[in-house]
Amino acid sequence: MKNILLIGTGGTIASQPTDSGLAPGLTTEQLLRYTPSITRLCRTDCVQLLALDSTNITPAHWQMIVRCIRERYGNYDGFVITHGTDTLAYTAAALSYMIQDCPKPIVLTGAQKPIGFDSTDSKINLTDAFSCAAGDLPGVSIVFDHKVILGTRAKKTRSKSFSAFSSINYPELGVIRDGSLVRFIRQRCADEPRFYEDLDTRVALLKLVPGMDRETLDFLYQRNDAVIIESFGVGGVPEAGGFYDCIRQWKERGRITVLTTQVENEGSDLGVYHVGHRLKNDLGVLEAYDMTCEAVLAKLMWILAITRDPAEVAERFYTPVAMDMFPQLPQKQA
């Protein structure tokens, strides 16, 4: 029987009613009391690391989770992390870059309804997460509503339904049927994981809206090392409003720019239209392709903590990690 560590961070799964709405209040030990069947799957230990609504999760908390796993890595066969759903995809993406090539399961889960409610998805999600953590599922994943989703490909796409998460531009890793993992894809891993704890949190996200000018973009560049521009369709910025000059001027000061898309599925392709072609070919803007916005943000934080050299940043950004992207890079000439 395998040894699994349950790491609690709060979230709806551990919440209780208060006069001002739901708030995390249950410990990891209390969660396990609601799911006695887990004791038949594995041996469990608990760590109550945080007790937060996931809206309050920050990159500093990602670092705490990584340290918790790193310090206890040799003692357990797998890890389950309970977490609020609202920023769960961000945390899963961040852990995918901060704990790479891990041969052991690191499974994140949560719920749309607290575990103490009569109608709740908490019990099944937690039990499914332990089934996966006790199985052959290397690396970081989210287990939710019987689905197993790669940590770099997950996005919350429903705010209330039990089927809250989708796998974006990549197949699900598997499903849970009758309490057992049916795996479709097995992540590649190494004999030992590579841990990273440093992050550069000076990364901003700008969502373009019609009629916007460069003033907001200038503001973000002043305060950050990199800016992600969430553009329209396959990608581009308006020709009016000074965007091109803004990106060029801040590039000369060492700022990194990444173009992604507001469209969830199928990704960007900056070469299609004039409004995107110049960004990539003349201004050296990086393209997110089919990555999720959550993965782009976390990857930039990880990369910029390692290097600020633009060429090295680009090389690392376009190097897939945990199947986070399929870049449509041009073929090298012979």
Per-10-residue mean pLDDT, the chain, length 334:
97 95 96 95 97 97 98 98 98 98 98 96 98 96 98 97 97 94 94 98 97 95 98 92 94 96 93 84 92 98 97 96 80 43
> 52 and 25 share a domain?
yes
> 185 and 208 share a domain?
no
Count how many domains the chain has.
2
Last residue of a domain, one of 169, 195, 221: 195
Residue 322, in any domain of the structure: no
pLDDT at site 326? 87
> 38 and 142 share a domain?
yes
> 177 and 219 share a domain?
no
What domain range is 272 assigned to? 203-317
> 218 and 174 share a domain?
no
Tell me how far CA of residue 193 lies from CA of 69, 121, 330, in angstroms: 11, 31, 31
pLDDT at site 327? 67
Task: Check which CATH number belongs to the domain holding 97 and give it.
Answer: 3.40.50.1170
Residue 94, in any domain of the structure: yes
> 220 and 258 share a domain?
yes
> 80 and 123 share a domain?
yes
Residue 150, in any domain of the structure: yes
Residue 309, in any domain of the structure: yes
CB burial of residue 88 (10 Å; 0-12, 13-18, 19+): buried
Residue 332, in any domain of the structure: no
Task: Check which CATH number belongs to the domain holding 256 and give it.
Answer: 3.40.50.40
> 189 and 248 share a domain?
no
Last residue of a domain, one of 195, 212, 241: 195
> 43 and 97 share a domain?
yes
Tokens for 175, please give them.
Answer: 């499903």
> 36 and 185 share a domain?
yes
Residue 323, in any domain of the structure: no
pLDDT at site 274? 80
Residue 331, in any domain of the structure: no
What's the per-residue H, E or C state across the chain?
CCEEEEEEEECHHHEECCCCCCEECCCHHHHHHCCHHHHHCCEEEEEEEEEECHHHCCHHHHHHHHHHHHHHHHHCCEEEEECCCCCHHHHHHHHHHHEECCCCEEEEECCCCCCCCCCCCHHHHHHHHHHHHCCCCCEEEEEECCEEEECCCEEECCCCCCCCEEECCCCCCEEEECCEEEECCCCCCCCCCEECCCCCCCEEEEECCCCCCHHHHHHHHHHCCEEEEEECCCCCCCCCCCHHHHHHHHHHCCCEEEEEECCCCCCCCCCCCHHHHHHHHCCCCEECCCCCHHHHHHHHHHHHCCCCCHHHHHHHHCCCCCCCCCCCCCCCCC
Instruction: Kindly report the backbone phi and psi dihedral angles of residue 180, in degrees, each rounded to the nearest multiple of 5, phi listed first.
Output: -120, 145
Tell me how far CA of residue 158 lies from CA of 161, 166, 168, 186, in angstroms: 6, 9, 13, 26
Residue bearing tokens 């937690």: 126
Residue 47, in any domain of the structure: yes
Last residue of a domain, one of 195, 223, 253: 195
> 208 and 154 share a domain?
no
Q: Which residues are catalytic?
A: 12
> 107 and 231 share a domain?
no
User: pTM of this prediction?
Assistant: 0.95
pLDDT at site 240? 85
